[in-house]
Chains A and B, each alone.
Chain A
């Protein structure tokens, strides 16, 4: 049992003693109840190794951000150890910078307008694709899924060439048009999955009792979609707020928050003011995502069990290769 490190959770079982009477040398013996945990790798060492590994990966994801926040309070223009004195100077500076505030405001405005439009278009498409069978259905579905797969760089370059040809002035409006087309398909993906899961008998009963299509949509489908729409809103808002690539090509002279960060970092060394504003944005995003998730759960008519909801959300997020 001395193996440590990455593979430990997957490997130690072979060294582990046979567990709870399930002696491997006596296959004829009846299986004993092992509880809800499956028996594979359930020795104590495998467990500890597994948790260490999980901790290691989570640390890789989060510790750099914690250090970033820590150094936003460091009283030195150079971001390196040793830590000098505590200061709020960088926050004062960055919050007094009109370019930064303007860029943040633009990003918020963008995400806040892109999100509702994406929710409407995405839900319409999801209902159209899941509740009808028609000739071009596969084509329509493939078309709607395409922006999720096509890399943002190509969408951005194509959009730039298109807008220039149309003599359309690049601004927040052009980013808005592109963000909607880039992000509404993820709403369709999430909402369709929810629609597939539901029993259709409710809708059919309503139709049989004389409800119109519109009434079915208003009183049955939409209330059942609460959690899916909540998850979609969180994802679209984050993607739109975070997007650099598409905005980079279609912004013209406008600056969004990611464009400001990129431009600042491209031509400068690390700057504590960037740490300060990045800390604020990161904490803000965590609060928004968490509250959104709680709200979606609270108002969900479906009361999907936690795991189903999470895997649904996650699986679909996995579909969206691009951001």
Chain B
């Protein structure tokens, strides 16, 4: 028994042992390798193949799937429009979530938990239903337009409300609002409220407090929010398909078309793999920044 206790101690103090962690990690890692790593490897392999739709087997074609993508101007325009939509949504979400995070962290007192719960519950509801609710409101013959006409605000329905870039930006922002707010809120929570009191006592007005205390301390949270929310938005295809129409076609829609509609697996896989690389780079950057934040606040 004492030998086993010694071994446990050794583990805890960090001198590494082979098999004990393996008992815990074997099953999760095996599942990951089979159904996460393997699909990613397949993506990479297929992106260099001219794949046959029926067997899934294909012949090696070098970089041709990648060059096919980069030499297609329509695809590059889609990529650009994806970047524009994502950036605009991000700006809107930051404009909404910065004040919200600040208010929740410092201003609402005992309402903090109920308000947080409301924000999180909204986020856990079915995103498709939330998209549909907006589509119902924004449509050409939808609720907002019929309301505007009923009260005589406009003569003809406003067509741009739905099936436009505007619609995708608005609806995606609503979908990801909680995700954007949380990291910023978490970063602000690490600010000791007495710091704000001290700043105030020393004569700092809010703009100064913002510039010298709140923004610098929230910056890593803001950065992490931008990246972690930006990654899924870049590959979004459901929202543009439902509220974007042809005018807000995004790279996610394009990938879906290549894979499911045109059976163009090689190009679809190449595009997917490019997006994977972009996601991985962004995630690493977010990880570094997030870690930096933790070290700073721990000190």
Contacts and interface: CB of A to CB of B under 8 A. Distances in A.
Are A and B co-members of a single complex?
yes
Contacts of A96: none
A270 B42 contact: no
A159 B116 CA distance: 35
Contacts of A146: 32, 36
Contacts of B145: 80
Q: Binding site of A, secondary structure by majority: helix, strand, loop or mixed?
A: helix
Nearest to A259: B128
Contact of A41 (B95, B107, B252, B255): B107
Interface residues on B, range: 35 or more
A206 B130 CA distance: 49
B152 interface: no
Contact of A315 (B132, B183, B255): B183
Contacts of A67: 133, 136-137, 143
B197 A38 contact: yes
A322 B57 CA distance: 30
Nearest to A275: B136
A124 B279 contact: no
Contacts of A238: 124
B29 interface: yes
A246 to B, nearest CB: 10
Interface in A118-158: 121-122, 124-125, 127-129, 131-135, 137, 140, 143-144, 146-147, 149-155, 157-158
Given A151-B235, A289-B121, A81 B206 contact: no
B124 A235 contact: yes
A261 B103 CA distance: 36
Given A54-B103, A82-B150, A158 B272 contact: yes
Nearest to A187: B28
Interface of B: 1, 5, 8, 11-18, 20-21, 23-25, 27-29, 31-32, 34-40, 42-43, 46, 51, 56-57, 95-96, 99-100, 102-103, 106-109, 112-113, 115-130, 132-137, 139, 141-143, 145-147, 150, 174, 177, 179, 182-183, 185-186, 189, 193-194, 196-197, 199-203, 205-207, 209-210, 224-225, 228-229, 231-232, 234-238, 241-242, 252, 255-256, 259-260, 265, 268-269, 272, 275-276, 279-280, 283
Given A11-B206, A149-B228, A79 B142 contact: yes
Q: Most B CB atoms within 10 A — which of A36, A42, A314?
A: A314
Contact of B193 (A19, A38, A68, A307): A38
Contacts of A37: 106-107, 109
B203 A245 contact: no
A149 B283 contact: yes
A90 interface: no
Interface in A7-36: 7, 9-11, 13-14, 19, 22, 24-25, 27, 31, 34, 36
A34 B193 CA distance: 12
Contact of B39 (A60, A159, A266): A159
Interface of A: 6-7, 9-11, 13-14, 19, 22, 24-25, 27, 31, 34, 36-42, 47, 50, 53-54, 57-58, 60-62, 64-65, 67-68, 71, 78-82, 121-122, 124-125, 127-129, 131-135, 137, 140, 143-144, 146-147, 149-155, 157-162, 164-165, 177-178, 180-182, 184, 188, 200, 204, 207-208, 210, 213, 234-235, 238, 241-242, 244-245, 249, 257-258, 261-262, 265-266, 269-270, 274-275, 278, 281-282, 285-286, 289-290, 293, 306-307, 310-311, 313-315, 317-319, 321-323
A178 B268 contact: no
Contacts, number: 360
Nearest to B37: A143
A246 B96 CA distance: 30
A127 B207 contact: no
A314 B116 contact: yes
B128 A245 contact: no
Contacts of B185: 311, 314
A157 B186 contact: no
Q: Binding site of B, secondary structure by majority: helix, strand, loop or mixed?
A: helix
Given A7-B99, A39-B200, A322-B231, 19 more contacts: A9-B99, A24-B200, A37-B106, A54-B100, A128-B25, A131-B11, A144-B32, A150-B276, A157-B255, A157-B268, A161-B42, A180-B35, A238-B124, A241-B126, A245-B237, A278-B129, A310-B112, A317-B120, A321-B179
16 contacts: A9-B107, A57-B100, A68-B136, A71-B136, A121-B28, A125-B25, A133-B13, A149-B231, A159-B35, A161-B56, A162-B42, A235-B124, A262-B128, A265-B135, A285-B125, A314-B116
Given A9-B102, A164-B56, A278-B132, A140 B5 contact: no
A6 B117 contact: no
A270 B163 CA distance: 14
A71 to B, nearest CB: 7
B103 A286 contact: no
Contact of A34 (B197, B209, B280): B197
A267 to B, nearest CB: 11
Contacts of A274: 132
Contacts of B29: 125, 140, 143-144
B99 A242 contact: no
Q: Most A CB atoms within 10 A — which of B95, B132, B197?
A: B132
Contacts of A6: 95, 99
